Amino acid sequence: MKVRYLPAIVIILSLMGVSYAAMDWEITDGSEIIQEGDEYSKVSIYNSAMVEMSGGVVSGIDAYNSSTLTLRGGSVGARGLYTYNSSVVNIHGWTDGLKVVANDSSTVNLFQGNTNGSVNPYGSSTVHIYGTDFDFSVNISSGTLTGKWADETDFSLFFRGETELPSQVILHQVPEPTTLILLLSGIAAIHYKRM
């Protein structure tokens, strides 16, 4: 369980000139939030715990068992994000350079993020990528998937040691906003004529 007094203690210690190191946090149950101002060395999520990260700084995150992580913002450091067992990670935003390593039967859903990062799926893990204009290219012994997120932002995902898109990666074509509006307008027109 997260101690809510931590930011106040850190502020008091900082005012007194005392330095501190970021702490590790093990979350074993319930729902928790990592938000702006939070700083952790490593966050480990277990069992069926649910965590939402909307801000803050974490050096690395490990998701285990049937836990769920929703990443909407903040910064995950060089250690990256590792998934294990049957954990589920939903990524709606991240900072440049995020490293995602999916293991076991875990699921990673990439909806949006900044421009670049790396993805390495192993075992029977599954990585779902939602966007448009997908293109996979190879540079020597590694591949890069480029495309656009649903909001038309360009992205580039690096696949170390992969000369073709890994079989664990499933690409989902998301309709462009204009196409979706035209489709919905057509459905509405047909429905209106039938009335």
Q: Where are the domains of the chain?
A: 21-194
pLDDT tens digit sequence for 131-178: 999 999 999 889 999 999 988 899 999 999 999 999 999 999 998 665
String of DSSP letters for 51-102 = EEESS-EEEEEEE-TT-EEEE-SSEEEEEEEEE-TT-EEEES---TTEEEEE
- Give the residue, 117 or 82, on which the prediction is more confident: 82
107 contacts 126 by C-beta, under 8 angstroms: yes
- pLDDT score, position 1: 47
pLDDT tens digit sequence for 14-49: 566 555 568 999 999 999 999 999 999 999 999 999
Does the pLDDT at position 120 exceed 80?
yes
pLDDT tier for residue 115 given thresholds of 50, 70 and 90: confident
- pLDDT score, position 47: 98
pLDDT tier for residue 116 given thresholds of 50, 70 and 90: confident
- pLDDT score, position 192: 66
pLDDT tens digit sequence for 57-84: 999 999 999 999 999 999 999 899 999 9
pLDDT tier for residue 4 given thresholds of 50, 70 and 90: very low
Kindly report the pTM of this predicted structure. Answer: 0.81
